[in-house]
Amino acid sequence: MKTREMNRDWIATARTLSEALPYLQRYDGAIVVIKLGGHAMGSDAGMESFARDVVLMRQVGVNPVIVHGGGPMINEMLERLQIKSDFVGGKRVTDAATMEVVEMVLSGRVNKRIVQAINRQGGRAVGLSGKDANLIICDPADPALGLVGEPSQVDPSILRTLFAAAAIPVIAPLGAGRDGGTYNVNGDTAAGAVAAALKADRLLLLTDVEGVKDAEGRLLTELSSTAINTLIRDGVIAGGMIPKTETALAALEGGVRAVVIIDGRAPNAVLLELFTEHGAGSLIRAG
């Protein structure tokens, strides 16, 4: 009985691989930017699973780029160092002391954890921040927020160099100011700007929710940019989903082929989206 069940499992695996072939061919050489946050970052098991998926993507010819957040880790370190945070409109004011912690946590602890996880799975990850090679140049987002930046210029040439070396870029969302300073950049915003500069085939925004939902709470698996704007105007899209959908719209305007808001808690969510007919989350296209 056990042998028969094992045979069925292997047959199912072989069938899955066979059915994935058209999608593997479709994404061969494609650039996929992934914003990593939420569950996959907080769990060792989630990180290991995500890293394995990213290495598989690279193995089959996809060029993945990881842009990560790190808010909870920053909060933890600020509390440990007894550095008080002020907020304006729900956004953290980043002064010089806070910026020092932000850079230390994002470029150090968080970035290297992701790099190590990918490398342990057989990949060749390279960690960098938006300051490296002037990847992301920022202007101040709002004087009231201090050292919070808005990407104004993205030079992806260093990323293309890493693609050519079969490496996987892992980017901390920091930017260089025109004044030579360092700016804290929202992770979703940084991912969208990088994806637009690369004219990426896909921008995947990993979250801790299923995706965009309608007024009745049902998952919307495919939307246009026009539909997104209508849902925002009608108050159906609200709270933390607003900045994610706004990032999606900006990325589409910048030349990204499609954006998907995915539940990062689901096992192998990235692979399901790219390599199966079913997909995952909410797919957003221009139109």
The stretches in the chain having pLDDT less than 70 are: 1-18, 20, 38-40, 89-90, 278-279
Give the pLDDT of residue 1: 47
Q: What is the reported pLDDT for 71?
A: 85
Which DSSP letter does residue 287 get? -
Q: What is the pLDDT of residue 154?
A: 97
pLDDT at residue 189 in the model: 94
Q: In what order do the strands lie in the sheet with 149-154?
A: 149-154, 136-140, 174-177, 182-184
| The pLDDT value given to residue 45 | 86
Tokens (6 digits) for 187: 């992770």
Where does residue 185 rank: exposed (0-12), middle (13-18), buried (19+ CB within 10 A)?
Answer: buried
* Residue 170 token pair: 């892992």
Tokens describing residue 100: 């020092």
Q: Which amino acid is at 3?
A: T
Neighbour tally for 191: CB within 10 Å: 31
Residue 216: the pLDDT is 86
Q: 10 Å Cβ neighbour count for 165?
A: 9
| DSSP-assigned letter for residue 132 | G
Alpha-carbon distances, residue 37 vs 23, 43, 50, 64, 140 (angstroms): 25, 11, 11, 16, 24
pLDDT at 40: 67
The Cα–Cα gap between 78 and 88 comes to 17
Supply the DSSP symbol for 103: H
Q: What is the pLDDT of residues 140-196, one digit of tens each?
A: 999 999 999 999 999 999 999 999 999 999 999 999 999 889 999 999 999 999 999
Question: Hey, what amino acid is at 79?
Answer: E
Question: What is the residue whose two structure tokens read 């933390």?
Answer: 240
Domain architecture of the chain: domains with CATH: 28-285 (3.40.1160.10)
Strands 87-88 and 63-68, how do they pair? unpaired
Express as a percent the part of the chain with pLDDT over 70. 91
- Residue 12's Cβ-side half-sphere holds a number of Cα atoms within 13 Å equal to 6
pLDDT of residue 280: 75
Beta carbons of 281 and 34 less than 8 angstroms apart: no
One-letter identity of residue 184: N
pLDDT at residue 18, rounded to an integer: 67
